[in-house]
């Protein structure tokens, strides 16, 4: 992506006027990254297939008994949590399912951050909203976001199912007993991790829908 020798000849870059070479480099770079992203997603789904199936059936059973999904994360992962909630609430096919994003309410998030500390913004909401039959999903590319871990640990203490999406080697989330279903996307690029996490989440949602249709159709 970057040219390792460019710093030696800064004047060359400043003289650069014809964008064609750069455009062709950008295009090849995009093509390679698209391939990398697709391969990472496919490989991750293959590796996690049994765990996604197991979690999906558990989540479907919880939804069938009135459970709700509570999702959270920070930054881009906060928007991924919202995207997950939008998917469950407004699915392209299948049954709409109750889901809440714990990052959406600016009054709640800023009040907790200001008054009790940012590391507790999700766990305090879990205390307020979490019921034993619910599901908590936390997104953290590093696997180490303190508030996401606190939220998942609080959820586990309260009998919620806990799903943790992380990247790299899983970080602190991977070995955390509060995380019942740790889904690790093994990459060290935050962007590629988030893309593959979306794929994992979509697959999890698909399994939930399929399971609800097959085994819990009469529970609606």
Partner 1 sequence: MTGSITSEDLISSQASLPGDLAVAALALARHFAAGGTLWCIAPRWPSHGSHVAVEFVHPVIVGKRAFPAVHVEDDDLVGAVRLLSRPGDALLAISDANDSEVAAVIRRGDAWGLTTVAIGAGPRPTVRRAEHELWLDDMDMARAARSGAVVLCYHLLWELVHVVFEHPGLLAAGSECPDQVCITCSDEGRVAEVRFRPGGDWAVVLAGGEEETVDVSLVEEADPGDLVLVHAGVAITRVCESDE
Nearest residue (CB) to partner 1, 33 versus 129: 33
* End-to-end Cα spacing for the chain: 52
CB of 180 to partner 1, least distance (A): 22
CB of 57 to partner 1, least distance (A): 16
CB of 184 to partner 1, least distance (A): 16
d(CA 70, CA 129): 8
Residue of 70, 157, 141 lying closest to 105 (CA atoms): 70
d(CA 47, CA 141): 18
Instruction: Specify the stretch interacting with partner 1 by CB under 8 A; choose among 60-68, 109-117, 162-170, 200-208.
Output: 200-208
C-beta of residue 162 within 8 angstroms of C-beta of residue 152: yes
C-beta of residue 137 within 8 angstroms of C-beta of residue 69: yes
Structure tokens at 78: 């906060």
Query: What is the x/- site pattern for partner 1, positions 5-24, by CB under 8 A?
Result: -x------xxxxx-x--xxx
Which of 194, 208, 211, 212 lies at the binding interface for partner 1 (CB under 8 A)?
A: 194
Structure tokens at 194: 């988030």
CA angle, corner 183, sides to 211 and 178, nearest 5? 95
Query: What is the x/- site pattern for partner 1, positions 57-86, by CB under 8 A?
Result: ------------------xx-xxx-xx--x
Nearest residue (CB) to partner 1, 142 versus 158: 142
Footprint on this chain of partner 1 (rule: CB under 8 A): 1-3, 6, 13-17, 19, 22-31, 33-35, 37-39, 41-42, 45, 75-76, 78-80, 82-83, 86-87, 92-94, 190-191, 194-199, 201-203, 205-206, 209
């Amino acid at each position: 992506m970057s040219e390792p020798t460019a710093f030696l000849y800064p004047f060359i870059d400043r003289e650069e006027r014809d964008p064609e070479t750069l455009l062709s480099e950008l295009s090849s770079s995009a093509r390679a990254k698209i391939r990398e992203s697709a391969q990472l997603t496919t490989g991750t789904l293959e590796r996690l297939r049994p765990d996604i199936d197991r979690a999906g059936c558990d989540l479907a059973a919880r939804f069938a008994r009135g459970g709700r999904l509570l999702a959270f994360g920070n930054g881009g992962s906060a928007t991924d949590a919202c995207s997950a909630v939008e998917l469950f609430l407004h699915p392209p096919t299948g049954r709409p399912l109750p889901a809440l994003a714990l990052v959406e309410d600016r009054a709640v998030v800023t009040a907790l951050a200001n008054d009790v500390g940012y590391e507790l913004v999700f766990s305090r909401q879990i205390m307020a909203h979490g019921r034993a039959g619910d599901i908590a999903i936390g997104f953290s590319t590093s696997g180490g976001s303190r508030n996401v871990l606190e939220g998942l640990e609080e959820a586990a203490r309260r009998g919620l199912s806990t799903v943790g999406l992380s990247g790299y080697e899983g970080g602190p989330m991977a070995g955390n007993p509060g995380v019942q279903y740790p889904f690790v996307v093994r990459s060290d690029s935050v962007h590629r991790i988030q893309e593959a996490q979306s794929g994992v989440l979509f697959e999890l949602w698909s399994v939930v829908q399929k399971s609800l249709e097959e085994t819990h159709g009469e529970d609606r």
